[in-house]
Amino acid sequence: MSTVALGLARGGIEVKQFFRSREQAVFTFAFPLLILTLLGSIFNRAYEGTGVTAAQVFTASMVGAGIISTSFVNLTISVAADRENGTLMRLRGTPLSAVSYFMGKIVLVAVASLGQAILVLGIGALLYDVHLPTSLDKWLTFGWVFVLAVVSCSMLGIATSAIARSGQGAAAVANVPYVGLQFISGVYVGPITTLPVGMVTVASFFPIKWVCQGFRSVFLPDAMAKWEMAGTWELGRTAAVLGAWSVAGLVLCLLTFRWTSNRT
């Protein structure tokens, strides 16, 4: 079988294993949903002259934050676990290429992320009256932001797993930057213009800010763009930053990926 066909086959068993190990599936999915339900219920302010509520803005941002949980956080943990439980040791002794292994992980993330996005939007529609866009244009934007988010954050997750020495340590290694960046990217505190400029500048170097901004452009009316830092959705810049991170993530992956935890 070709590298791609094997990557898809890996994807199939990755998805199976992910959903069968309930702790991991629940942990990955539940955290963003819990935050969405709790914080969304607290935010009740409306944005003047737009009819958009803070909870709706938060829901749009949480689509992005949820995908980053299912990609970056989930992969940091699951690749470290694969290193610990012998999965990688075994694969290394087979003709399978590392690229097929990465592809399998990306398939897992794409499936889990789509599920995550549907759950977040479902809760948003149910509790906060979030409306799905009807124009093809918006869905195209959703498509490319989704793909770039999944690819860049998956690569970064695999690369980050090299730092973690154990599956358990990996949860901390992944969650600290994830939660921190969510704060300074204006996910919890909105609109992003209320944050100190320096903070947002730091956040602008990382994918989360752009992923969430991209999804706000999809799920919010265009009038809301004035509450972004630039006053516009900056879709071109979003594509550039996420594309750059996808390439950088792949390079980092290839440089740091280790089949085993021994270093000689």
- Judged by the rule CB under 8 A, the positions of this chain that interact with other proteins are 1, 6, 9, 13, 16-17, 20-21, 82, 85-87, 89-90, 92-97, 259-260, 264
Q: Which is nearer to other proteins, 93 or 196 (CB)?
A: 93
How many Å apart are CA 188 and CA 121, to the nearest integer?
17
Which helix (DSSP H) or strand (DSSP E) does residue 146 occupy? helix 136-161
Q: Which is nearer to other proteins, 84 or 234 (CB)?
A: 84
Q: Which is nearer to other proteins, 16 or 45 (CB)?
A: 16
In the complex, minimum distance from the CB of residue 1 to other proteins, in angstroms, rounded to a whole number: 6
In the complex, minimum distance from the CB of residue 74 to other proteins, in angstroms, rounded to a whole number: 15
- Alpha helices in 162-185, H assignment, sequence order: 167-184
In the complex, minimum distance from the CB of residue 76 to other proteins, in angstroms, rounded to a whole number: 18
Contacts of 75 by beta carbon, 8 Å cutoff, 6+ apart: 105, 109, 153, 154, 157, 158, 161
User: Using an 8 Å Cβ cutoff, are 156 and 245 in contact?
Assistant: yes
End-to-end CA distance of the chain: 31
Q: Which is nearer to other proteins, 73 or 96 (CB)?
A: 96
- Say how far residue 103 (Cα) sits from the centre of its chain: 16
How many Å apart are CA 61 and CA 228, to the nearest integer?
12
- What does the block give as tokens for 249? 């993530």
Q: Which is nearer to other proteins, 2 or 135 (CB)?
A: 2
Q: Which is nearer to other proteins, 97 or 194 (CB)?
A: 97
In the complex, minimum distance from the CB of residue 27 to other proteins, in angstroms, rounded to a whole number: 15
If we measure between CA atoms, which residue out of 110, 174, 155, 148 comes closest to residue 248? 155
If we measure between CA atoms, which residue out of 40, 65, 36 comes closest to residue 54? 40
In the complex, minimum distance from the CB of residue 21 to other proteins, in angstroms, rounded to a whole number: 5
In the complex, minimum distance from the CB of residue 130 to other proteins, in angstroms, rounded to a whole number: 34
